[in-house]
Chain A
Amino acid sequence: MYDFAYHRPTNLADAARLAKEAEAKLMAGGMTLIPTLKQRLAKPSAVIDLGAISDLVGIRVEGGRLTIGALTTHADVARSAEVRRTIPGLADLANGIGDPQVRNRGTIGGSLANNDPAADYPAAVLGLGATIQTNERSIAADDYFKGLFETALKEGEIITAVHFPIPEKAAYAKFPNPASRYAIIGVFIAKGPQGVRVAVTGAGNGVFRVKAMEDALAKNWSADAINDITVPASECNSDIHASSEYRAHLIGVMAKRAIQAAG
Chain B
Amino acid sequence: MAPRDDGIGAAVRRKEDFRFLTGRGLYVDDIVRPGQLYAYILRSPHAHAEIRAIDTAKAMRAKGVVAVFTGADMAKDNVGSLPCGWQVKNKDGSPMNEPPHPPLAVDRVRHVGDPVAVVIADSREAAKDAAELVEIDYRPLPAVVSVAEAIKPGAPQVWDIAPGNTCYDWEIGDKAAVDAAFSRAHHVARIELVNNRLVPNAMEPRAAIGDFDPASGEYTLYTTSQNPHVIRLLMGAFVLHIPESKLRVYAPDVGGGFGSKIFHYAEEAIVTWAAGKVKRPVKWTAERSESFMTDAHGRDHVTRAELALDRDGKFLGLRVSTLANMGAYLSTFAPCVPTYLYATLLAGVYTTPAIYAEVRAVFTNTVPVDAYRGAGRPEATYLLERLVDVAAREMNIDPVEIRRRNFIAPDAFPYQTPVALQYDSGNYHATLDQALKAADWAGFPKRREEARKRGKLRGIGISTYIEACGIAPSNVVGALGARAGLYEAAEVRVHPTGTVTVFTGCHSHGQGHETTYAQLVAEGLGIPIENVEIVHGDTAKIPFGMGTYGSRSLAVGGSAIVRAMDKIIRKGKKIASHLLEAAEADIEFKDGKFTVAGTDRSKTFAEVALAAYVPHNYPLDELEPGLDETAFYDPKNFTFPAGCHICEVEIDPDTGVTQVVNFTAVDDVGRVINPMIVEGQVQGGVAQGIGQALLENCVYDENGQLLTGSMMDYTMPRADNLPSIAVSTHTTLCTHNPLGVKGCGEVGAIGAPPAVINAIVDALSSYGITHIDMPATPQRVWKAIQDARMKQAA
**Cβ-neighbour of B777 out of A178, A250, A253 (below 8 A):** A178
- By a beta-carbon cutoff of 8 Å, the part of chain A in contact with chain B is 1-2, 39-40, 175, 178-180, 240-243, 246, 249-250, 253
A253–B655 contact, CB under 8 A?
yes
Residue of B nearest to A185 (CB): B655
Q: Within the assembled complex, what's the spacing in Å between the Cα atoms of A180 and B136? A: 33
B1 adjacent to chain A (CB < 8 Å): no
Assess whether B655 is in contact with A240, with CB atoms less than 8 Å apart.
no
Could you tell me the distance between the alpha carbons of A250 and B655 in the complex, rounded to whole angstroms? Answer: 7
CB distance from A209 to the nearest CB of B (A): 22
Q: Knowing that A243-B779, A250-B655 are A-B contacts, what are 14 other residue pairs whose CB atoms are under 8 Å apart, sorted by A's residue number?
A: A2-B129, A39-B289, A40-B128, A178-B777, A179-B713, A179-B716, A180-B711, A180-B713, A240-B699, A242-B779, A243-B783, A246-B779, A249-B782, A253-B655
By beta carbon, the residue of chain A nearest B711 is: A179
Determine whether the beta carbon of A179 is less than 8 Å from that of B714.
yes
Residues of A near B716 (CB, < 8 A) are 179
By a CB distance below 8 angstroms, the chain A residues around B622 are: none
- Tell me the complex Cα distance, A246–B782, Å: 8
Q: Give the secondary structure class of A's interface.
A: loop
Q: Which residues of A sit under 8 angstroms from B779, Cβ to Cβ?
A: 241-243, 246
Please tell me if the beta carbons of B655 and A175 are within 8 angstroms of each other in the complex.
yes
| In the assembled complex, B604 has its CB within 8 A of some CB on chain A | no
Residues of B within 8 A of A242 (CB): 779
Interface magnitude class on chain B: 20 to 34
Highest count of chain B CB atoms <10 Å: which of A39, A241, A242, A243: A241
Question: Is there contact, CB below 8 Å, between A179 and B707?
Answer: no
Residue ranges of B at the interface with A (Cβ–Cβ < 8 Å): 125, 128-129, 289, 654-656, 695, 699, 707-708, 711-716, 777-779, 782-783
CB of B707 within 8 A of CB of A240, answer yes
Residue among B654, B699, B715, B783 making CB contact with A178, cutoff 8 Å: B715
Residues of B within 8 A of A243 (CB): 779, 783
- Whether A180 touches B712, Cβ cut-off 8 Å, given contacts A240-B699, A250-B655, A253-B655, is yes
A–B Cβ pairs within 8 angstroms, 27 of them: A1-B125, A2-B129, A39-B289, A40-B128, A175-B655, A175-B778, A178-B695, A178-B715, A178-B778, A179-B695, A179-B711, A179-B712, A179-B713, A179-B715, A179-B716, A180-B712, A180-B713, A240-B707, A240-B713, A241-B713, A241-B777, A243-B779, A246-B779, A246-B782, A246-B783, A250-B655, A253-B654
Tell me the bound Cα distance from A242 to B778 in angstroms.
Answer: 9
Task: Kindly report which residue of chain B lies nearest to residue A39, judged by CB atoms.
Answer: B289
- When A and B form their complex, what is the total count of cross-chain residue pairs whose Cβ atoms lie within 8 Å? 39
**Closest Cβ of chain A: how far from B551's Cβ, in Å?**
29
Cα A152 to Cα B26 in complex, Å, equals 50
Q: Which chain B positions have C-beta within 8 A of A1?
A: 125
CA distance A249 to B695 in the complex (A): 21
Bound-state Cα–Cα, A241 to B129, Å: 34
Q: How far, in whole Å, are A243 and B777 apart by their CA atoms in the complex?
A: 12
Q: Please indicate the chain A residues that have their CB under 8 angstroms from the CB of B654 in the complex.
A: 253
For A180, give the chain B residue with the smallest CB separation: B712
B778: chain A residues within 8 A (beta carbon): 175, 178
For residue A181, which residue of chain B has the nearest CB? B718
A114 and B711 CA atoms in complex are apart in Å by 20
Among all A-B residue pairs, the 10 with the closest Cβ atoms: A179-B715, A180-B712, A178-B715, A253-B654, A246-B779, A179-B713, A240-B699, A242-B779, A240-B707, A253-B655
What distance in Å separates the Cβ of B345 from its nearest Cβ neighbour in chain A?
Answer: 30
A218 to B656, CA, bound (A): 30
- List of A residues within 8 angstroms of B711 by Cβ: 179-180
Give the shortest distance, in Å, between A175 (CB) and chain B (any CB).
6
B715 A240 Cβ-Cβ under 8 A: no
Residue in B289, B707, B777 with the greatest tally of chain A CB atoms within 10 Å: B777
Q: Which residues of A contact B655 (CB under 8 A)?
A: 175, 250, 253
Q: Measured between alpha carbons, how far is A243 from B779 in the docked complex, in Å?
A: 8
Return B9 CB to nearest CB of chain A, in Å. 39
| Distance to closest chain B CB from A44 (angstroms) | 16
Tell me which residues across on chain B come within 8 A of A2, comparing CB atoms. Answer: 129
CB-nearest residue of chain A to B125? A1
- Report the bound CA distance from A253 to B695 in whole Å: 22
Q: How far is the CB of A244 from chain B (nearest CB, A)?
A: 11
Q: Determine how close the nearest CB of chain A comes to the CB of B370; give it in whole angstroms.
A: 24
A40 — nearest CB in chain B belongs to which residue? B128
Docked CA distance A39–B289 (Å):
10
Bound together, the chains give a CA A207 to CA B783 distance in angstroms of 25
Interface centre among A40, A240, A242, A253 (most CB of B within 10 A): A240
Smallest Cβ-Cβ distance to B712: which chain A residue: A180
B656 / chain A contacts, CB cutoff of 8 Å: 246
Rounded to whole angstroms, the CA-CA distance of A240 and B777 in the bound complex is 10
Question: For A180, what are the chain B residues with a Cβ–Cβ distance below 8 Å?
Answer: 711-713
Complex CA distance for A180 and B709, rounded to whole angstroms? 12
A240 proximity list for chain B (CB < 8 A): 699, 707-708, 713
Nearest-CB residue, chain B, relative to A246:
B779
The smallest beta-carbon distance between A255 and chain B, in angstroms, is 12
State the Cβ distance, B774 to closest chain A Cβ, in Å. Answer: 14
Smallest beta-carbon distance B715→chain A, Å: 4
In the assembly, what is the distance between CA of A253 and CA of B699, in Å?
28
A192: shortest Cβ distance to chain B, in Å?
27
Shortest CB distance A258–B (Å): 14
Bound CA–CA A243/B782 (angstroms): 11
- Chain B: which residue is nearest A243 at the CB level? B779
Contacts of A246 in B (CB 8 A): 656, 779, 782-783
Chain A residues with CB below 8 A from B699, complex form: 240
| Residues of chain A contacted by B714 (CB below 8 angstroms) | 179
* Shortest Cβ gap from A256 to chain B (Å): 9
Shortest distance from the beta carbon of B788 to any chain A beta carbon, whole Å:
15
